[in-house]
């Protein structure tokens, strides 16, 4: 379906993605990750720091990160060293390790909750 040349809005309306970069984005560099963690710590944003660390460790999409339940990460009051999540887009299970830094930030957030 095209536009009519007689439509007055046809020539005036820019494309929805005009001026935006298209395609996949570059991965964060270690310095950028450190800067984000530093800022989150300075601002005392425990939840955001825990979710950021979880996203970095798991490399999951945002929609999969927010669907993770506490029970997926915690067992018997202890944060598991590994977690298994089923991806929403592909339906495939993804297993990942939680680093000590991530486990500490998750524990700090859960204790404060």
- What domains lie within the chain, and their CATH numbers? 30-112 (1.10.443.10)
pLDDT per residue as tens digits for the range 51-98? 999 999 999 999 999 999 999 999 998 999 999 999 999 999 999 999
Convert the pLDDT of each residue in 36-47 to its tens digit.
999 999 999 999
pLDDT for position 18:
87
Asked whether the predicted pLDDT for residue 101 surpasses 90, the reply is yes
Are residues 50 and 65 in contact, defined by beta-carbon separation less than 8 angstroms?
no
What is the DSSP annotation of 93-109?
EEEEEPPHHHHHHHHHH
At 82, which helix (H) or strand (E)? strand 82-86
What's the whole-model pTM score? Answer: 0.79
CA separation for the pair 63, 55 (Å, rounded): 11
Residues shown for the chain:
113
Residue-wise pLDDT for 8-19, tens only, equals: 666 677 788 888
For residue 22, pLDDT over 90 is answered with no
> Of 45 and 25, which is predicted with more confidence?
45
């Amino acid at each position: 379906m095209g536009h009519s040349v007689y439509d007055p809005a046809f020539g005036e309306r820019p494309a929805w993605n005009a001026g935006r970069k298209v395609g996949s984005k570059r991965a964060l560099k270690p310095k950028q990750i450190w800067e984000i963690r530093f800022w989150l710590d300075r601002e005392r944003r425990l939840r955001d720091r825990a979710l950021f660390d979880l996203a970095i460790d798991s490399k999951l999409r945002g929609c999969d990160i927010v669907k993770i339940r506490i029970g997926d990460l915690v067992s018997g009051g202890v944060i598991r060293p590994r977690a298994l999540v089923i991806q929403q887009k592909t339906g495939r299970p993804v297993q990942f390790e939680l680093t000590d830094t991530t486990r500490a930030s998750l524990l700090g957030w859960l204790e404060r909750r």
